[in-house]
């Protein structure tokens, strides 16, 4: 078993997860996005907006 650094492991898996989400959204909507790896920060999420809008999808999401 390899000895992983916890922060590097989480960071790597976060990037892979984000790339897969981008691909899934592109498959469902046709909208593409570029992942900016420099934008990742380890801090609690907060927003200055009063409301957050999300899109609900139902169905199978295919991935690796």
The 10s digit of each residue's pLDDT in 7-59 is 677 778 888 888 898 898 898 888 888 888 777 777 777 778 777 677 777 77
User: CB count, 10 Å around CB of 22?
Assistant: 15
> In angstroms, rounded to a whole number, what is the distance separating the alpha carbons of residues 42 and 17?
16
Structural domain for 10, as ranges: 1-40+49-64
Number of domains comprising the chain:
1
> In angstroms, rounded to a whole number, what is the distance separating the alpha carbons of residues 28 and 9?
29
- In sign, the C-alpha dihedral spanning 64, 60, 9, 3 is negative
Predicted TM-score (pTM) above 0.75: no
* pLDDT at residue 10 in the model: 72
Q: Look-up: residue for tokens 């609690």? A: 44
- Cβ(23)–Cβ(62) below 8 Å: no
* pLDDT at residue 4 in the model: 55
């Amino acid at each position: 078993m390899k000895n992983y650094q916890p922060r590097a492991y989480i960071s790597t898996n976060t990037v892979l997860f984000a790339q897969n989400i981008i691909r899934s959204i592109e498959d469902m909507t046709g909208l593409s996005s570029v992942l900016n790896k420099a934008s990742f920060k380890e801090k609690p999420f907060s927003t200055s907006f009063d409301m957050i809008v999300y899109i609900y999808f139902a169905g199978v999401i295919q991935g690796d």
